Amino acid sequence: MAKAAAMRFCCASEVITPDHPVFMHGFGAREQKSEGVHDDLYVKAVLLEANKQLLILTIDALGADRSFVDGIKDALLEAFGLGHDEVLINFSHTHHSVFFTGLDAGKRRGAYSIAQDRWPESEAEVDYTADEELFRSMRDTIIRMTNYCRSNLIEGELFVGRSISDFAVSRRKPDSDGKIEWRPYHEAEIDKELLVLKLTDLSGTVKGILYNYGCHTTAMGAQLKLSNDFAGTTSRVLEEAYPEATALFLQGCAGELKPLRSADGDRFKALSYEEMEEAGTDLANDVLRLLADGAFEKIQCEFRTVLADPLLYTEQTPAAFYESIASESTSLFYRNAAKRTIEAIQDGSIKDRLPHYICLWHLDANTRLVAMEGEVSTEYSLLIKKLLRPHTTLTLGYTNGVYCYIPTRKMIREGGYEASCNFFFNLRGPWVPEIEDIIIGQIAKAEMTLSQPSMA
């Protein structure tokens, strides 16, 4: 039997904080551009090399559309031969940063620019010049970082450890009539698993900490300073504790999850900067306890990858449904989103289906990483881990694009914000319940594909 290839790796990190005011994405209540910086925003990279190379990028931003993601991946393919299935771009989903787009207008989500001063009533109002300039800058930065990683690979080992964290709580509380209210729901079944990938050099020094947990980075409200919310604090505390390490937050399936510290009785409150940092330190301490006292298993680093891109379908909601929202909502963001939806249905540009990236990585025979596009519900994380049991499985949402929420069949039946807000995103209506079958079926198919004996 041939000896397995040695694992080599390199980590890199660069600040991407805008040096001028931008219109942040994430809160519809915002009506002006950013005012200063609370903590820097980063793009971070980890390149892993064994039998093949894998690249993980984390970006402190709300998300990005296919125009950005495919543009970055195409550039990485051209420069380094990295396939789209060999690159994961995970967004922290902080609501105190921007949403990225690229140069391909046909793959653009639309209705937002970093240069705007208000939420647009019509797509025709939006000028993407500044966004395209930002894309070019991000593309060049990522190419430079990847080249650095390729030139500075060191031999080492990769480990995985896991524990439980009570950092998050569901925001979908059923009322007495079976409707869903935006309130803390402590009894909800959520994925509380905290997983950590630890990279060490051959001397055992920790060089990389990739921590995977699902929770909306919305500890604070619609304040105006740029920030990576609690995840920025968590990574900073980890890097202070392990000075030679780069800490990367791998955002999990967090569609309906908020920080527990923001739960205030039967409602949520916006934390102050100080309270947000305390929350971030809570999560960091959970990671630090795992690093200090937890059991870690060595990953044998035999990489296999596959990328699926199925279509998901919406209901055929008529334009008349949105007329009351367009005329009566007290929110400018809601009114303008409804007006754009009505216009798109009338002119035929509305979307009633959407491609959905699902990437499966086998890190070795016992360790899986499932990464999905969009704001994926924690319920999918539970379903996927059950499907792939007994393997250790990291589940990531907000990866390779963040277009909209991805609810389960149960959530679609119940309704509530995550199931009903598709009109924000130029989608005709709520998802059909069968999207759950499509997603889980595609993951099962991908697992069967990668579990076949290698022909190498």
What is the domain range of residue 342? 317-347
**Residue 86 resides in a domain:** yes
Tens digits of residue pLDDT in 175-203: 988 899 999 999 999 999 999 999 999 99
Looking at the fold, whether 78 and 222 belong to one and the same domain comes out as yes
pLDDT of residue 4: 55
CA 396 to CA 88: how far, in whole Å?
10
Is the pLDDT at 2 greater than 50, yes or no? no
Tens digits of residue pLDDT in 415-439: 999 999 999 999 999 999 999 999 9
Looking at the fold, whether 184 and 324 belong to one and the same domain comes out as no
pLDDT of residue 453: 79
Q: Is the bond preceding residue 390 a cis peptide, omega within 30 degrees?
A: yes
Looking at the fold, whether 183 and 322 belong to one and the same domain comes out as no
* Residue 330 backbone phi and psi in degrees, to 5: -80, -10
**Residue 283 resides in a domain:** yes
CB 194 within 8 A of CB 202: no
Is the pLDDT at 1 greater than 50, yes or no? no
Looking at the fold, whether 170 and 269 belong to one and the same domain comes out as yes
pLDDT of residue 277: 98
Average pLDDT over residues 260-285: 98
Residues 6+ apart with CB under 8 A from 40: 15, 17, 228, 232
Average pLDDT over residues 122-146: 97
* CA pseudo-torsion sign 111, 117, 119, 124: negative
**Residue 30 resides in a domain:** yes
Looking at the fold, whether 443 and 333 belong to one and the same domain comes out as no
Burial of 435 per CB tally in 10 Å (0-12, 13-18, 19+):
buried
Average pLDDT over residues 366-376: 98
pLDDT of residue 3: 52
Looking at the fold, whether 165 and 300 belong to one and the same domain comes out as yes
CA 374 to CA 190: how far, in whole Å?
18
Instruction: Indicate the average pLDDT of the chain.
Output: 97
* Tokens read off for 168: 């998050």
Number of domains making up the chain: 2
Average pLDDT over residues 384-398: 98
Give the global pTM. Answer: 0.97
**Residue 2 resides in a domain:** no
Residues 6+ apart with CB under 8 A from 364: 299, 300, 301, 302
Residue after which a domain boundary falls, among 347, 362, 395: 347
Looking at the fold, whether 174 and 103 belong to one and the same domain comes out as yes
In 3D space, the residue among 47, 44, 70 whose CA is nearest the CA of residue 58 turns out to be 44
**Residue 26 resides in a domain:** yes
Looking at the fold, whether 329 and 243 belong to one and the same domain comes out as no
CA 49 to CA 146: how far, in whole Å?
12
In 3D space, the residue among 71, 77, 177, 82 whose CA is nearest the CA of residue 415 turns out to be 177
Residues 6+ apart with CB under 8 A from 117: 23, 32, 33
Q: Per residue in 156-195, is it b (16+ CB within 10 Å) or e — as a string?
A: bbbbbbbbebebbbbbbbeeeeeebeebbbeebebbbbbb
For residue 18, give the 3-state DSSP assignment: coil
**Residue 333 resides in a domain:** yes
Question: What DSSP assignment string belongs to 269-309?
Answer: -PPPHHHHHHHHHHHHHHHHHHHHHS-EEEE----EEEEE-
